[in-house]
Amino acid sequence: MNQAVQDFIERKIVINAPIERVYQGLQEDFLGKIVGERVPGSHVYFNFGEWGNSSAHIIDVQPPTYFSYRWVPGTIYEGDIYEMGCTLVEFKLAEVEGGTELTVFESGFASLPAERYQEAMDNNSAGWDEEIAGLVEYLKK
The torsion angles phi and psi of 122, rounded to 5 degrees, stand at: -65, -50
- pLDDT, residue 42, reads 97
CA distances from 71 to 9, 31, 55, 59, 86 (A): 14, 13, 6, 10, 5
- pLDDT, residue 92, reads 98
> So where are the chain's domains?
8-140
The verdict on domain 8-140 having CATH code 3.30.420.610 is: no
Per-residue pLDDT tens, the chain, 141 aa: give them: 445 679 999 999 999 999 999 999 999 999 999 999 999 999 999 998 998 999 999 999 999 999 999 999 988 899 999 998 999 999 999 999 999 999 999 999 999 998 999 999 999 999 999 999 999 999 998
- pLDDT, residue 5, reads 79
